[in-house]
Structure 1
Amino acid sequence: MKLYAKMTTAAIAVCLAGPSAASNCAPREMVIENLAKKYGESRQSMGLGANNAVVEVFASEETGTWTITVTSVHGMTCMVASGQAFEELAEVLPVDDNDA
């Protein structure tokens, strides 16, 4: 199992266990409001993880802070990682010599 899949599965397990199991979990609306007000972060990207959990990246271009969240199908959102120095990238895959 890939590391990302293991991390997502662990984050989902924490979300499903509820806020008492992890103090970084709360209803989605509360988490998003807190990220916006306290850190100026807005959603930059999103995708579906295991068990249809929504994985989102929030960041502030102004401060460079970022947060990764996982939201379960039940609406509980857990903050699974955060940091600084966020940069938006649009990298292109290298051309394979066999494709030329």
Structure 2
Amino acid sequence: MIRTPLVPFAILGAIIALGGTPASAQSSCGPREQLVKMLADQYKEDPVGMGLAQPGQVIEVFASSNGSWTMVMTMPDGKACLIAAGDNWEIVTKIKGNPI
């Protein structure tokens, strides 16, 4: 499946529009629960990593077995924004003594 990085933004925009969010809202952001459901349903992406950014902000990477991936930033209020997406995701592990 070929996927451009903008497809998740378009899908999330449609979810937001159907949910009655004001037109002034960013189309790449919405409730985290809806974003996570969309990534699982449409792209079969599940969380593979996470970390803290600015105070209260969580960065998560979702990836699928076919290599698609999406990076999501969630704010303390539960609003989540897509910040990057792509293909060819690989899990890289560093083995002690072997530099990556």
Identity over the aligned pairs, expressed in percent?
Answer: 38
Q: Name stretches of at least 5 consecutive residues in structure 2 with no aligned partner.
A: 1-21
Structure 1: 4+ residue segments shifted above 3 A: 18-21, 92-95
Task: Assess if the C-alpha contact under 8 Å between 1:45 and 1:58 holds in 2.
Answer: yes
Could you tell me how far apart the structure 2 residues matched to 1:48 and 1:19 are?
Answer: 30
Are the counterparts in 2 of residues 19 and 26 from structure 1 also a CA contact under 8 Å? no
Contact 1:54–1:70 (CA<8 Å) still a contact in 2? yes
Distance 2:83 2:25 in 1: 13
What is the number of residues matched between the two proteins? 77
Aligned-partner SS, 2:60: strand
TM-score, length basis structure 2? 0.70
1:35-92 Cα distance to aligned partner (Å, 9 max, x none) = 000000000001111022010000002x210000000000000000000000001024
Q: Could you list the runs of 5+ residues in structure 1 that have no partner in the other structure?
A: 1-17, 96-100
The amino acid of 2:38's aligned partner reads N
Corresponding residue number in structure 2 for 1:91: 94
Q: Secondary structure at the match of 1:26?
A: strand
Aligned to 2:85: 82
Q: Of residues 10, 25, 28 in structure 2, which corresponds to 1:24?
A: 28
Aligned-residue CA RMSD (Å): 2.1
SS in 2 for 1:34: helix
Q: Which amino acid aligns with 1:54?
A: V
For 1:44, the equivalent position in structure 2 comes to 48
1:33 is aligned, of 34, 37, 44, to 37
